[in-house]
A and B are shown apart, each in its own frame.
Chain A
Amino acid sequence: ETGVTQTPRHLVMGMTNKKSLKCEQHLGHNAMYWYKQSAKKPLELMFVYNFKEQTENNSVPSRFSPECPNSSHLFLHLHTLQPEDSALYLCASSQGGSNEQFFGPGTRLTVL
């Protein structure tokens, strides 16, 4: 598959569950991002990785834990989430910073 892929596409979890979101990019990019998209709010940048190293963490609660094992893969580990964490989580990649970002299709997360 080409571009940026994300799995799962939909996820329902309880507040005590542990789950992980996966993102993979097939574009040879060196930067990857996690965004949260909630209704009526701007896209919120959560984490940024450059060459597998985390360069930005925008005051995200510790119940969200990112992992970037290599430049092509990015994970978001979820633990003891709250109902207000329900949102669309988008992954993106780019070649360097301040360049076009390519987004994945997103994971629609519902926390019960």
Chain B
Amino acid sequence: GENVEQHPSTLSVQEGDSAVIKCTYSDSASNYFPWYKQELGKRPQLIIDIRSNVGEKKDQRIAVTLNKTAKHFSLHITETQPEDSAVYFCAASLSNQFYFGTGTSLTVIP
């Protein structure tokens, strides 16, 4: 089955700096890659996603890149703000199956 690895597990950045979180996957058939943000005590919420026929997608300060050949995808957050502090999860999906990474706890220091 699919195996998703996510790094780093914790990340601290100064407010205004950029943050990058990386994930790798093992099943080349996976075709949908969402990123979720989970604040403490709250439910996961989708922040951006990308499909296998696209290499990059951007939404304001958030961007995701996908390298199908290398089977890795990354989340980029620019101009970080304290409210970006949360746990971020990547996932790889095929049909009804979703495989999540172990999460990255991001702390943005004011």
Separation of A103 and B91 alpha carbons in the complex (Å): 14
A56 in complex: contacting residue of B89, B91, B96, B102, CB < 8 Å: B96
Of all chain B residues, which has the CB nearest A56? Answer: B96
Using a CB–CB cutoff of 8 Å, the interface residues on chain A facing chain B are 31, 33, 40-45, 48, 50, 55-56, 90, 97-106
A36 to chain B, nearest CB (A): 11
Known A-B contacts A42-B101, A42-B103, A43-B100; the reply to A103 vs B49 at CB < 8 A is: no
CB under 8 Å from chain A, chain B span 78-108: 89, 91, 93-103
Known A-B contacts A42-B100, A45-B99; the reply to A101 vs B89 at CB < 8 A is: no
Contact A45 B98 (CB under 8 A): yes
Separation of A103 and B37 alpha carbons in the complex (Å): 11
Of all chain A residues, which has the CB nearest B33? Answer: A98
B45 in complex: contacting residue of A31, A48, A55, A103, CB < 8 Å: A103
Number of interface residues of B (CB under 8 A): 24
List 29 contacting pairs A-B, 8 Å CB cutoff, sorted by A. A40-B102, A42-B6, A42-B99, A42-B100, A42-B102, A42-B103, A43-B44, A43-B98, A45-B97, A45-B98, A45-B99, A48-B97, A50-B96, A55-B96, A56-B96, A56-B97, A90-B44, A97-B93, A97-B95, A97-B96, A97-B97, A98-B32, A98-B94, A98-B96, A101-B46, A101-B98, A102-B46, A104-B43, A106-B43
Contact A98 B45 (CB under 8 A): no
Of all chain A residues, which has the CB nearest B92? Answer: A98
B31 CB within 8 Å of chain A = yes
Chain B residues with Cβ under 8 A from A103's Cβ? 43-45
A83 to chain B, nearest CB (A): 22
- One digit per residue, 1 when the CB lies within 8 angstroms of any chain A CB and 0 when it does not, for chain B 32-43 equals 101000000011
Contact A41 B102 (CB under 8 A): yes
Separation of A106 and B45 alpha carbons in the complex (Å): 13
Chain B residues with Cβ under 8 A from A43's Cβ? 44, 89, 91, 98, 100
